Structure 1
């Protein structure tokens, strides 16, 4: 992995802190929200862009995406793509 990718992933970790309440600390949700770990970056980018442009409505996602720059999105995508896709946790597990 090149240094630029490591920096992007590192920035993505920090940006993802605002996502943990719904999408889990490592991108695996304990709630009824999408798991982001190991997701296709283009798919996440499309969803974030749609929320940001208000093509897709969500009272929860709109404020989180509104302030994201293009670089922020790329960093989040790099982080979530970097994470291994694992079995989702079961509801009610610790």
Structure 2
């Protein structure tokens, strides 16, 4: 018996929803252990860099994990341009990015 198209679309939607939920989330404990390169700038209230230009460094604690991962990926692929962040992101694996994002999205400051 052939199913109606709407049933197939619904089934695919459920499959995609569960596939996204199965995506490995980062480990905030591991992220805290990996944040030495981040906290030196992002952990200081009102911090400004002077290289390559004066730049107000944003606090990233409490930011959405998905946003943080996308931002790090963008620095790694040169879609975002900041020399320090590009250099740091280039050293991070996908798991490192997920872990750091989980830490900062939670209680990371």
TM range (shorter): 0.7 to 0.9
Count residues with an aligned counterpart.
Answer: 78
Q: Which stretch shifts more, 28-37 or 9-18?
A: 28-37
Whole-angstrom distance in 2 between the partners of 1:84 and 1:66: 22
The one of 22, 30, 37 aligned to 2:46: 30
Q: Of the two, which has the highest radius of gyration?
A: 2
* Residue pair 1:23, 1:30 contacting (<8 A) in 2 also: no
* Cα distance per residue 1:22-59 (max 9 Å; x no partner): 101xxx64312111111011111111110000111111
Q: Do the aligned partners of residues 38 and 53 (structure 1) sit closer, same or farther apart at CA in structure 2, a change above 3 Å counting?
A: same
1: CA distance, partners of 2:95 / 2:58: 22
1:13 corresponds in structure 2 to: 32
Normalising by the residue count of structure 1, what TM-score does the alignment of the two structures yield? 0.72
Secondary structure in structure 2 of the residue aligned to 1:54? coil
Corresponding position: 1:64 with 2:80: no
CA contact (8 A) 1:13 1:76 kept: yes
Unaligned runs of 5+ in 2: 1-23, 48-55
Answer whether contact 1:37 1:81 (CA < 8 A) is retained.
yes
- Structure 1: which 4+ aligned runs deviate by more than 3 Å? none
Deviation (angstroms), 1:84? 6.7
Pairwise CA RMSD: 2.2
Instruction: Report the TM-score, using the length of structure 2 for normalisation.
Output: 0.63
